[in-house]
Amino acid sequence: MSKQIAVTDLSVRCSPLVRQPLTSHDARDLALVFKALADPVRLQLFSLIASHVDGEACVCDISPAVDVSQPTISHHLKVLRDAGLLVSERRGTWVYYRVVPVALQALADSLVPESSGAPS
């Protein structure tokens, strides 16, 4: 099952955390998203996928770039997916991962008090 806390829901619910104090409930949810990014290997995996051509990559594309075992990579990808930062899709033998742009934007918006207009 996984948790699927969905960072996008957070952005709908709470203003930037500099605006008003977070409720303990919102703090718990938001912490889950930050926790997903709070690991060097996960940040590298995420960055590799995000910067890959067409904005997606299969596990075999990015595995060589990090020096942990393949099960560990799979675990980290699952954490990022559960946080709503990535989505995955199976195509034949391979599984492709793609970033969720709105999730990233929502997280950024939770930090700074509204920066620009909506991105397209």
Report the 10 Å Cβ neighbour count for 69: 10
Q: Dihedral sign, CA of 30, 108, 84, 40?
A: negative
- 49: β partners: none
Q: Work out what residue 95 binds among a copy of itself, DNA, none; the CB cut-off runs from 5 to 8 Å by kind.
A: DNA
Q: Find, among 51, 47, 25, 31, the residue nearest to 107 by Cα.
A: 31
Structure-block tokens of residue 57: 């990559």
Contacts with a copy of itself by CB under 8 A lie at 17-22, 24, 27-28, 30-31, 34-35, 37-44, 46-48, 50-51, 65-66, 99, 104-105, 107-109, 111-112, 115-116, 119
Q: Does 73 interact with DNA (rule: CB under 7 A)?
A: yes
38 forms part of the interface with DNA (CB under 7 A):
yes
Burial class (CB in 10 A: 0-12, 13-18, 19+), 36: buried
- Contact between 69 and DNA by CB under 7 A: the answer reads yes
Under the binding rule (CB under 7 A), the answer on residue 25 touching DNA is no
Should residue 100 be labelled a site residue for DNA when binding is judged by CB under 7 A? no
Applying CB under 7 A, the residues found at the interface with DNA are 35, 38-39, 41-42, 58-60, 63, 67-79, 88, 90, 92-95
